[in-house]
Amino acid sequence: MPDCQNRQNAYHDSTGASGDLTDGNIVFAGYKKTTRLAERESILDAAKNVDIDISAVCGGRGLCGKCRVVVKEGEENLEAVSRLEAMSLSKEELASGYRLACCALLNHGGTTLVEVPPESRAQQQRLLVAGVETPVSRNPSVKKFLVHLTKPTLENIRSDSEILLDGLIHEERTAHLKIGYDAVTQLPNAIRDRDWTVTAAVRDGEEVICVEPGDTSNRVYGLAVDVGSTKVAGYLLDLSEGKVVATASAPNPQIPYGEDIISRVSYASKGERNLKQLQGVVIACINKLLLDTCESASVNSSEVYDVVLVGNTVMHHLFLGITPRFVALSPYPPAIRSSVNVRAKDIGLKTNSAANVYVLPNVAGFVGADAVADVLATEVCNSGALSIMIDVGTNTEILLGNDQKTIACSCASGPAFEGGHIEFGMRAEPGAIENVYVDPSNLEPGFKTVGDARPRGICGSGIVDAVAAMLKSGIINKYGLINTKLNNRRIRTDGAPQYVLSWKDENDAGRDIAVTQHDVQEIQLAKAAIYSGATILMKHLHVEPSEIQKVYLAGAFGTYVDPQSAVTVGMYPDVPLERVQFVGNAAGSGARMALLSREVRENSDRIVQHIDYVELAADPSFQRAFTEALQLPHKDLTRFPTVAQLIKRD
């Protein structure tokens, strides 16, 4: 084999990839990709040069430990192990060549061979784009009209605009139509191009925004966008038919600047340039979704005349280029609550240049336009029945009320439900353990992974399932403590107590996958944050859990979690399961509804005025409610009658 004879200039790795090694290069094993070494460049940056996506969710600050790589050759070309790496990696790992790609700095020396283990490779996440469908009567903001015009003569000279408006006013049955600047510039050529037959796009029955030659009246599309902290979803709708014609989604590209919202706020607050950077990446992402959906539906992006966008308040601010700095500082005021209209071209969206972007209103700093969209998509503010809506995320928004009164709060539930701060936590990517069962007779676990792949870690629904199963089987008690006195091979007592789900040789994680004492505690903190928020809202409305007629669970987590497990750990009020409805990506549904109906938009601004925001930090009883909710399922078992039965029975 020739590459063996010249070992200095060749490599081959465990995946069978091989190639030439030249001095001053960094080679990524498995990817067959090589790039020049630059002095004092991190491995993470070198990987970006050759488009290798190493997962780092802390913005490359050495905090998340998700970018572990193994240096196979040329360790001498790296600067010494940093303090952050020493904290994040075990001695054994450091001895085996493990480094954090974001911390390990390259010298401009010889050739370095780096392996990116599977758990550090960013993979296609399972992103929820479906949501509850609530029918609306179609009345989109932008409508097209075909008009046949009358030529001017020397005896009857009218301007092109007057000729068009005269033709349109009959169609639109309004006397107050005006013509926008962009449309005026298109007008002279457009009306003469197809013998005085044109199609005009009219916004809100008020303004001609676009004029096209001939008949294009059946080509009118709109894009609904849901910008989540984790993922961005786009829905292309045919506005004349009122149907979704394509959907696409992508991870939020702001994640490398900070996985959680507060990190991003902190990054954006450092200066105008950072703010523009976060705005820029999300807009580029939306443009990608626009082009992808357009391509798959054979639509030209210039046929997209309207955009509706939802997101939490920080996503809302970042998208619009408004500093989110003060949203994160008490008393957490948003820059604006009411809906915002901005021109697509002003913000850089590559739709038709006359398109408008309607951004739904916010309720408060931590109850944003996405929560308003949730409300639009459900009956929370529209029905006489008392309902609660819980949109689970790093910040969980809760709305409780009916058509008379609705109140809202936001809970700092943290990233545990998304796999964050969990020892083996990961996103719902292939190989993530998503369902867990514990055999009460021998405490042996059973589980299912996303895509039925070999296990790599545990995602949010998996960890909730695991904690519920551990509670029911007695592995943990109501305080969440692992019972280390149980003599079982799955329960480790050396070091921090933990319960092993998957042995090293059965998985792709490189070590035993377990639920640690700390993991259980994270889930307790997270679910207590949510439940205590619900408690404060119930107190404000003077209602008991049993009076709640409907529980809406929204968000990706809310769709994949087992509702019984969630209520077992005490996440939401213990109501009969038939009252629980998963509404999936309700924010996306609300955005689509607003795209199809001007009345829904008007309603959304009314709804915001109708919702009272409750700041938990300002409520004196919050601390006590939180402490009581830390127990599994709750200190007051009478609040969880069915769970009490379950624990007893098991």
Max Cα–Cα distance, the chain, nearest Å: 103
Q: Which is nearer to its own copies, 90 or 185 (CB)?
A: 185
481 counts as binding its own copies under rule CB under 8 A: no
Cβ at position 481, least distance to its own copies in Å: 35
Listed in sequence order, the DSSP H helices in 433-542 are 460-472, 517-541
3-state secondary structure of 413: coil
Dist CA 17 CA 62 (whole Å): 29
Cβ at position 317, least distance to its own copies in Å: 8
Dist CA 308 CA 28 (whole Å): 41
Q: Which of 48, 61, 288, 325 binds its own copies (CB under 8 A)?
A: 325
Q: Which stretch binds its own copies (CB under 8 A): 83-91, 338-346, 462-470, 564-572?
A: 338-346
Dist CA 331 CA 617 (whole Å): 9
Task: Give yes or no for a contact between 234 and 293, defined as CB atoms under 8 angstroms apart.
Answer: yes
Q: Which is nearer to its own copies, 230 or 356 (CB)?
A: 356
Q: Which of residues 189-248 bind its own copies (CB under 8 A)?
A: 189, 192
In 3D, which of 78, 40, 64 has the Cα closest to residue 423? 64
627 counts as binding its own copies under rule CB under 8 A: no
3-state secondary structure of 118: helix
Q: Which of 146, 169, 342, 637 binds its own copies (CB under 8 A)?
A: 342
Binding mask 45-74 for its own copies (x = CB under 8 A): ------------------------------
621 counts as binding its own copies under rule CB under 8 A: no
Secondary structure (DSSP) of 416-454: GGGTTTSTTB--S-TTEEEEEEE-TTT--EEEEEGGGPP
In 3D, which of 144, 224, 168, 208 has the Cα closest to residue 601? 224
User: Which conformational region is residue 303 in: left (phi greater than 0), alpha (psi within -120 to 50 degrees), or beta?
Assistant: alpha
Tokens of 125: 């996440």
Q: Which is nearer to its own copies, 86 or 335 (CB)?
A: 335
Dist CA 340 CA 361 (whole Å): 7
Q: Which is nearer to its own copies, 174 or 338 (CB)?
A: 338
335 counts as binding its own copies under rule CB under 8 A: yes
CA angle 163, 341, 407 (to 5 degrees): 140
483 counts as binding its own copies under rule CB under 8 A: no
Dist CA 594 CA 375 (whole Å): 12
Dist CA 517 CA 500 (whole Å): 11
562 counts as binding its own copies under rule CB under 8 A: no
Cβ at position 529, least distance to its own copies in Å: 18
| Total of chain residues touching its own copies, rule CB under 8 A | 45
Q: Which is nearer to its own copies, 95 or 157 (CB)?
A: 157
334 counts as binding its own copies under rule CB under 8 A: yes
Q: Which is nearer to its own copies, 152 or 348 (CB)?
A: 152
158 counts as binding its own copies under rule CB under 8 A: yes
169 counts as binding its own copies under rule CB under 8 A: no
288 counts as binding its own copies under rule CB under 8 A: no
Dist CA 513 CA 503 (whole Å): 6
Q: Which of 49, 130, 133, 152 binds its own copies (CB under 8 A)?
A: 152
258 counts as binding its own copies under rule CB under 8 A: no
Q: Which of 296, 330, 404, 493 binds its own copies (CB under 8 A)?
A: 330
Q: Which is nearer to its own copies, 188 or 384 (CB)?
A: 188
Cβ at position 370, least distance to its own copies in Å: 17
412 counts as binding its own copies under rule CB under 8 A: no
Cβ at position 272, least distance to its own copies in Å: 9
CA angle 613, 551, 377 (to 5 degrees): 70
Q: Which of 237, 322, 408, 530 binds its own copies (CB under 8 A)?
A: 322
Dist CA 650 CA 643 (whole Å): 10
Tokens of 112: 């370095």
Phi, psi dihedrals of residue 489, rounded to the nearest 5°: -65, -20
Q: Which of 8, 174, 185, 218 binds its own copies (CB under 8 A)?
A: 185
Task: Give yes or no for a contact between 98 and 69, defined as CB atoms under 8 angstroms apart.
Answer: yes
Q: CB burial class (10 A; 0-12, 13-18, 19+) of residue 349?
A: buried
Q: Which stretch binds its own copies (CB under 8 A): 74-82, 153-161, 370-378, 641-649?
A: 153-161
Phi, psi dihedrals of residue 575, rounded to the nearest 5°: -110, 160
Q: Which of 43, 52, 340, 360 binds its own copies (CB under 8 A)?
A: 340
Q: Which of 308, 310, 364, 529 binds its own copies (CB under 8 A)?
A: 364
Q: Which is nearer to its own copies, 336 or 543 (CB)?
A: 336
* DSSP-assigned letter for residue 60: S
Q: Which stretch binds its own copies (CB under 8 A): 95-103, 199-207, 320-328, 443-451?
A: 320-328
Dist CA 285 CA 227 (whole Å): 10
623 counts as binding its own copies under rule CB under 8 A: no
613 counts as binding its own copies under rule CB under 8 A: yes
Residues in the site for its own copies, rule: CB under 8 A?
152-155, 157-163, 179, 181, 184-185, 187-189, 192, 320-323, 325-326, 330-338, 340-342, 346, 362, 364-365, 613, 615, 617-618
